[in-house]
Chain A
């Protein structure tokens, strides 16, 4: 019997030599409890907050919010099923089951979570105070920014300012005013600690700047029709002298001029990376000269025909800078911004090199001009509108002596011409209150009181019954 016990003992001890033999740890990452322990880890945490600003396919700006801005507007439609069918958006035949809406919702809240995670950890990270202040400001701005993007699509949304757990994640929507207040507060608290664009090192280009944060605060005020506040903060951006328009409109879509003088905020894209940092828009604009070409983003002829003549008597050059005509069939059009002859061809699909523009100075100037006009300063406003019109290689005639209402129409048109396919149109039309009239004139099923907002993703309502659906969906 002794022998048996010895055998058994040996057998047991062979596997039981350590008490914690069963402990295994994930080899590919530490746990949140022990991460964020130094400046480098805090920086990695901060970089991850930017990661959700992606123009890869199916991410926030790779047929996400950008698609709604384009295809729900009056400038173009998404042509083909592949990579995704947007006909329900074009026709306002959509419901909360749309994958795109789900993507926008998830991607934005993941960004918000990452910001909150970092903001909760940051106070305890041993690092230089000024750098910590900047990191905090960047994360705070981004948290506001993701909320803003959600707000544009869905209206009042659940405001999340801390790391949630499955136990407390089922929260109701905040009101429109509460949502705006939170975004405003995040933007405002970020601005003081953010450096101006010129103060960032070259290898930090792409981070949020003081000017960009102020510009977005102005945009928020404009969405909330707080014109005087918008003018005040916008004036600070102009006074900073950090930004100017490119002489050549095309430089905005030139890889050599990324983050240039006209750039306020752009999604930083790069082709050929292992983790996928490219811009899907390259492939949305690919175009072959065949009977059934596959340009995805297809402008309406009405947009192309709307361009006017410039001071030299030629067509507004922005028409051909933005729209490409098929050689075989002149009725076939495709957008022409992120896939130009000089844009490097990516090796894989949806992996373009060119940064996706979120806000450039021309956009800012038109917003500022609009705010000035609404604040009653139409003359002052004209100055900024003409700045955009009279860009060297655009050379449109200056406008003068417009009434406030005439100026509004001028802004409606100018934003269409200047910013075609840059993801603003639908949100502009809704903001101006003319979406119904414009879109119905095109035969689209836009219903007033309903289609100003996207439906909350059905799946989210199922998972969180406290979420109320938008009206009429």
Chain B
């Protein structure tokens, strides 16, 4: 406050000084109001200068200014913490100006849990992304909006339009659900693709315990608060954003062509025959006989990626209207998105609308609502089996000459390798999501400083799956037509009721207190039905009623989940110099037994603005220096709704007398003693602002310990029932450093802004109750083990390739290994190769993640570039369980990646790529080993945008306030060593081991139009 006063005095002096000189500058008088765009508050003390003259003025207490200037003058508006704005007057006598936040200003108001705070006063680890950054990124999803923007937040996008990205804050705290709590206008909507990202006003990430503690029970993985655009200001505004563009796969994978393929598959048979003959068996015939080999000579065959991957068109329209009348504000947003995926048959459509209103009654009572409506429709693209892109042999045509769909004549009965183009044709799979969510709220101010808020938030969602597969024959595969329809219905309501008290005592003591309750109720039900058609039907009669009754299948089960919480928070600061805060939240959940369901989650924080101390005054360039620290505990109960309760499950049926008889048995091992998984986080941070905050740094160190993880602990089979039981066990530690830096500079009309962030992360399982367990490919490719990072890669170590028999005999080896097979290392030196030789092969969590953005603007032109990357993680690239591209035994007559050309085929031919072998794997080459482990690091130009704002006077005649056009692109450039489609693969869900939907690079053209 003191600082602001000083500024005001200074500026008033300046006004007097400049005002004197303005006497001789005559011409016209211009007047108007200056407001802060985000809050529409009038700004006092803004400096207005006629460009290239000493003439100027300062806005008064109501934000008004008046100035005599030349009629063609350019006025420069500047204000500490705001972006400097230049306006060409063009003869106008009235000029209203809105100023935007300077990105790094500490006065910026940030949405935090149950309230807002000025950035300068935040003592926890909180990062935010504002609307200004979002406009430059043009995100297609909410998750993309903050990917790389905030240190310590890792976003892994899904490639298929309409699929969810994975979001992780400060690493992986648990083996359970690591998803942060993401609230859109206080509602946990679950499906982020339902929101039009254009409608986002701000994003705040609460990383440490002290900031997130007020959300208690679900905040252990961090909290992301998203607010959407609402009605604001004193005047009407209308803006329209639109873009169109296209997307393509970021990469394509080189595969064998038909000529190479027929030779290699025959070579595999030759290799197998050598062993068969040696053991007295008969030799197998070549798959492609000599005539066929000759026929494919020099032929490329079908390159399936070209048949399945395409350029997808995209468009987006978004309209926002904000209007205010006396004591009421209204907001209206509507958005439409259509995206074709890059895999044929995939697309995504979204219709989004939001209606908000807020009314103030006698300055005491505020009533308001936000209602969001969303409809999305996703076409999945056949049965969505991306792996077929690799599997299909190049000798198979998309269609035969007679016009019927192609199949592999060498393997006509293979139902696992159906022609994917045919599948897109034969299968119609549409998912729709219908969602209405929002809130109704009331705020009552008893007296200035004490407010009571009551919010009722709701979310109603119906997700429909419509799957229709028609009858067809492909080769010898006969498919009966069937339909599979499902409705997933979610009903959630929650209510927040809280009192906030804010008071400044004796000008220096600021106290903020919040006290409230929270209740949450989630109800979910699904209805799933499946039936087979007696005869071939067309899509017109693809209804369930047309299916035959004797194969029909109907399933459904409701579930329910409740939370009840009480919370309180007190924050105190002395003169914006010393800060103290404390939060306590008490949560109860229906997911634990009555004796174990309540948990208390406390947190405390303290910070010290060193720069406000008198002894720091001599460091003029140091505008801000603040030391932050916090400690807190948070809970996690992201498990099944009924895990603590034992139950008898029906449908354990058996047939007697040729009719089904009901059976019932307990199938799960309940545990009444399970309770909260608890995360304790300590955070130390330092904020530095230099040169009037034009250069800022933010440094954080944290240690996050998760205890009592709610693990499914596998139980011996002898127990019967289910294989595992939920238990509170173990401890995982995440420690990390986070750095954020921003720099703004105005160099002769060129405004430069550079920002960067990097987050180092160390993840380690400290305790797992002495056990360890593996998951993934063949059940052991990833391990959870004390002393290692979560889901570390696990398997055998190999070192090159056996070149001859003598070499095999001289070392421990698999019993049937032959020359050309991988050399497995005898890790435990017991003379044999077996499962005891499996070892650590690398971590799947990156050592650090980083992002950097560069923004340049000059006159109407602006350029924004955004880089993002991760480093140090390993990915298991072993497409499909039986081998896949690059390493295969042709069990599916599948094609191979072009790297197979480097295979071993005689002593000295290769020391990296093992031999081919027809339908068997005598050397265990397909066992999980470092052969399949690839570096997952990447750096990519995530976003590039070049925009041009048309001069105001040009567009004014059309009644337009602001008109900007731009061209942008995402994923335009990627640097990686990863050999698959794209290294941006979700860590926990990549069970396809490299057969994911490819990522897209997009190019778009767009415009922003403001009236």
Chain A residues engaging chain B, CB cutoff 8 angstroms: 3-4, 7-8, 11-12, 14-16, 20-33, 35, 41, 43-51, 53, 80-82, 85, 87, 91, 93, 95, 97, 99, 102, 105-106, 109-114, 116-117, 158, 160, 163-166, 169-171, 201-207, 258, 268-270, 272-275, 277, 286, 288, 290-294, 347-349, 443, 445, 457-460, 462-464, 467
Contact = CB atoms under 8 A, between A and B. Distances in A.
B499 to A, nearest CB: 6
B989 interface: no
B839 interface: no
B13 interface: no
Contacts of A24: 560-562, 590, 641-642
13 contacts: A11-B454, A11-B495, A22-B589, A24-B590, A25-B642, A28-B649, A32-B666, A46-B663, A81-B892, A203-B657, A203-B659, A347-B480, A348-B551
Contact of A26 (B475, B647, B714, B717): B647
Interface stretch (B235-243, B410-418, B869-877): B410-418
Given A28-B647, A93-B816, A21 B717 contact: no
Contact of A47 (B416, B662, B720): B662
B261 interface: no
Q: Which 3 A-B pairs have the closest CB atoms?
A: A113-B720, A11-B497, A47-B663
A344 B540 CA distance: 29
Interface of B: 279-281, 409-416, 444, 446, 450, 452, 454, 475-476, 480, 482, 495, 497, 499, 515-517, 519, 532, 550-555, 557-564, 588-590, 594, 597, 641-642, 645-666, 669, 713-721, 723, 725, 727, 773, 778-780, 815-816, 834-835, 882, 891-892, 919-920
A22 B720 contact: no
Contact of B723 (A43, A106, A164, A277): A106
B891 A28 contact: no
Contacts of B920: 87
Given A47-B654, A117-B665, A270-B655, A275 B480 contact: no
Given A24-B561, A25-B645, A443-B280, A169 B656 contact: no
Contacts of A205: 656-658
B835 A95 contact: yes
B718 A169 contact: yes
Contacts of B594: 20, 22-23
B654 A51 contact: yes
Given A20-B594, A45-B664, A458-B835, 15 more contacts: A27-B557, A28-B647, A32-B646, A41-B664, A47-B664, A48-B653, A51-B663, A113-B721, A116-B720, A164-B719, A205-B656, A275-B651, A291-B410, A348-B551, A463-B716
B663 A109 contact: no
A23 B591 CA distance: 9
A97 B779 contact: yes
Nearest to B921: A87
Contact of B416 (A82, A111, A166, A458): A82
Nearest to A160: B718
> Which of A20, A51, A293 has most B Cβ within 10 Å?
A51
Given A463-B715, A464-B718, A206 B416 contact: no
Contacts of B650: 28-29, 44
B717 A166 contact: no
A51 B655 CA distance: 8
B663 to A, nearest CB: 4
Contacts of B561: 24
B914 to A, nearest CB: 18
A467 B719 CA distance: 14
Given A15-B519, A270-B655, A275-B660, A290 B412 contact: yes
Contacts of A269: 655
A31 to B, nearest CB: 5
A41 B415 CA distance: 41
A127 B517 CA distance: 51
Contacts of A35: 648, 664
A316 B702 CA distance: 79
Contacts of A81: 882, 891-892, 919
Contact of B645 (A31, A113, A117): A31
Nearest to A33: B646
Contacts of A274: 552-555, 651
A47 B499 contact: no
Given A4-B452, A206-B656, A106 B717 contact: yes
Nearest to A277: B655
Contacts of A207: 656
A167 B411 CA distance: 51
Contacts of B658: 205, 258, 268, 270
A170 B416 contact: no
A44 B562 contact: no
Nearest to B454: A11
A463 B714 contact: yes
A349 B416 CA distance: 12
Nearest to A457: B717
Contacts of B891: 80-82, 85
B1001 to A, nearest CB: 36
> Which of B558, B659, B664 has most A Cβ within 10 Å?
B664
B592 to A, nearest CB: 9
Nearest to B442: A7
Contact of B663 (A48, A82, A112, A163): A48
B517 A22 contact: no
A11 B721 CA distance: 44
B654 A268 contact: yes
> Which of A347, A443, A460 has most B Cβ within 10 Å?
A347
Contacts of B517: 8, 11-12, 15
Nearest to A11: B497
Contacts of A99: 779
A166 B715 contact: yes
Nearest to A108: B717
Contacts of B280: 443
Contacts of B659: 203, 270
B718 A47 contact: no
